[in-house]
Amino acid sequence: MKRTKIIDVLRSTNYGVEVCVKGWVRTRRGSKSVNFIALNDGSTIKNVQVVADVEKFDAETIKLITTGACLSVEGTLVQSQGAGQSVEIQANKIDVLGTCGADYPMQKKGQSFEYMRQYAHLRLRTNTFGAVMRIRHNMAMAIHTYFHQHGYYYFNTPLITASDCEGAGQMFQVTTKNLYDLKKDENGKIDYSDDFFGKQTSLTVSGQLEGELGATALGAIYTFGPTFRAENSNTPRHLAEFWMIEPEVAFMDMAELMELEEDFIKFCIRWALDNCKDDLKFLNKMIDKGLIERLEGVLNADFVHLPYTEGIRILQEAIAKGKKFEFPCEWGDDLASEHERYLVEEYFKKPVIMTNYPKAIKAFYMKIDEEESGFGGKSGQTVQGTDVLFPQIGEIIGGSVREESYDKLMNEIEERHIPMKDMTWYLDTRKYGSCPHAGFGLGFERLILFVTGMQNIRDVIPFPRTPKSAEF
């Protein structure tokens, strides 16, 4: 008999028909005469209840139906008499496809997320992680749908690169060289002439620079792929391998960029509320009781546009009135998550797009403001950056208008001592037909954190990569 997914069985009102479902046992309870088996196949957060009259099945089969075991069940779809489900299956045939012993790590309720991270290869079968992964899929679909509908082209940037977009140098090296016998030149530097690419290469930290090439040819592109940061950060907000969404758009100014950022993220949240109702209800009940209210709050709010200078003034006023922060916030400081969350959660009580940051704390490619920046700042000391700040998260989007002037860009590169030997191709975008353009980066996992209400970024990606952790 052909298998029916449990999500389709639960929607059916075709009582009396024979169905076949396959999945994993969540729980089994019952008496000597009848057993109730909760079966889940990953298609929905909800289980289908299988009712098995013990006399129909041999004792050995019943004994093998344990938490985590994989079953194939054929039976009659009937209206359920119990609470919590409208249909159930009266089993006529049960085949145990895979047994599961008492040492199965995921069989007990109430296990901590920290415990489950040790078993990332098995935690996906739990209710929470099933819900998170289905939402993750839906967010990916929302992203592609949004950009496709708005005329953007999906653009694939390289994972292996010789350039460091951020200038931070915290990159994972990629090489075919024998690390036990490294050939060096007379100056003691590694000789890459015998390497696969003939030069030092690394895993990308961002697809932005190559994305700018795409925007200056196709008008509007977006990247959506894995990026890698070798930061030794053991925090709930950092991963060594994560996914990034990076649109780049020709002829876009700062006002249009902020409009894009707000519209895009609202589209994604609306998609989650429309397409992930059951999973969000579960997470709202079990993980974060304010989750759905917070998501709806973002949809209904007009994002605040806040210059950095004004944000510093608000924070300093709060300090003067007795507000305690762990980190300082003087003009020129990079805001910590606690500062961002104060502005969003306590002061404005809605998302904030912070703009016009000091250029010293932002990347070299951001367009420099011409006007007086205020608050002790001088003309030419701030940039057209646009960071979107969210409740619970802090910064969720980092964007900017890009500097299109070759001379100004070179001046920043020289002042910051950024090595450009492998980036002449990037400068060509400013030499040959340069145009105004803008874009942003959104860490996919940060978005999933917000939409699911989860507290640790390691719990919104199937197999997290963090310092001293590369299992599975």
The model's pLDDT over 204-215, given as tens digits with 9 standing for 90+, comes to 999 999 999 999
CA distance linking residue 211 with residue 203, whole number of Å: 16
Percent of the chain with pLDDT over 90: 82
- Report the half-sphere exposure of 73 (CA within 13 A, side-chain side): 33
- Residue 379 reports pLDDT greater than 80: no
DSSP state of 359: G
Work out the pLDDT band at 36, boundaries 50, 70, 90: very high
> What pairs with residue 388 in β-bridges?
353, 397
CA distance linking residue 403 with residue 412, whole number of Å: 10
DSSP state of 288: -
- Residue 12 reports pLDDT greater than 60: yes
Please, what sign has the CA dihedral across residues 237, 241, 242, 244?
A: positive
- Residue 84 reports pLDDT greater than 80: no
Work out the pLDDT band at 376, boundaries 50, 70, 90: low
Amino acid at residue number 273? L
- Residue 378 reports pLDDT greater than 60: no
Mean pLDDT of the chain: 93
In this predicted structure, what is the pLDDT of residue 460? 97
Longest dimension (CA), the chain: 85
Of 472, 319, 455, 469, residue with least CA distance to 393? 455
If one compares 238 and 132, the residue with the highest pLDDT of the two is 132
CB-based contacts of 27-30 (< 8 A; 24+ apart in sequence): 27/67, 28/65, 28/66, 28/67, 30/54
81: left (phi over 0), alpha (psi -120 to 50) or beta: alpha
In this predicted structure, what is the pLDDT of residue 169? 55
Report residue 36 as tokens: 């109730």
Q: What is the DSSP string of 101-153?
A: -TT-TT-STT--HHHHHTTHHHHTTSHHHHHHHHHHHHHHHHHHHHHHHTT-E
Who contacts 385 (Cβ-Cβ below 8 Å, separation ≥6)?
Answer: 354, 355, 356, 357, 362, 366, 398, 399, 400
Task: Give the CA distances from residue 229 to residues 44, 169, 238, 440, in Å, rounded to whole numbers and listed in that order.
Answer: 34, 9, 9, 18
**All domains of the chain, ordered by start, with CATH?**
6-98 (2.40.50.140), 127-170+205-459 (3.30.930.10)
| Residue with token string 């191709």 | 425
Helix (H, G, I), strand (E, B) or coil at 166: coil
- Report the half-sphere exposure of 427 (CA within 13 A, side-chain side): 15
Average pLDDT over residues 422-446: 93
Contact 224, 143 (CB under 8 A): yes
In this predicted structure, what is the pLDDT of residue 301? 95
In this predicted structure, what is the pLDDT of residue 78? 96
CA distance linking residue 362 with residue 358, whole number of Å: 7
Contact 145, 182 (CB under 8 A): no
